[in-house]
Amino acid sequence: MLALGLAFLVAYALPIIDPDFPEPWTTIFFVVEIVAWIAFAVDIVVRIVLADRKWAFVRAHPVDIAAVILPVLRPLQALRALSILFLSARGLHRILRNRVLTYVVIAAFGVWLIAGLAVTQAERGVPGSNIHDVWVGWWWAFVTMATVGYGDTLPVNAMARSLATLEAALGPLYPAIILARLASIQVS
């Protein structure tokens, strides 16, 4: 599932990073996105069916279920990319020692990466926008997440501003959680 999640992320990111990809590739990227999403949807359904206490499983995995259900809508493609990243990282905590810190670091990196991509995709070609390439989008995502917000770049359309609101709300939480977790490790 991790490999499938990474394939999805690459298929989502490459057309945004380089919007001049030739046509057969854009179709391939779209197919990879759909296949990955279907695989994760099947995984959730199978896990629910196999669970002894189905409602307890549903209550215990709201993020996994929402990640599969919500991004069916095309405008929520960035949410689908972020949710696939979370779902594919489920098994990664076995490799790393600290489960909470693993999820927080992955989430922080994922929010930064995908917010930059999504805002770039939403702002590219919009009159009055100054976020036209992914490097500026990632810069915007970084300064927003770091709560610096220089104001040199900002989204101008409704979709990008919605994404900006979400990232601005989530962004400061990640460094705080990481630092709190590292402090608790040092104390214990």
Contacting residues for 138 by C-beta, under 8 A, at least 6 apart:
112, 113, 116, 117, 120
- The residue among 77 and 13 whose pLDDT is bigger is 13
Range name among 45-59, 74-88, 154-168 with the lowest pLDDT average: 74-88
Enter the pTM of the model: 0.71
Range name among 20-29, 140-149, 177-186 with the lowest pLDDT average: 177-186
- Residue 91 predicted with pLDDT over 50: yes
Cα dihedral 114, 8, 84, 143 in deg (nearest 10): -10
User: What pLDDT, on the 0 to 100 scale, is given for residue 98?
Assistant: 59
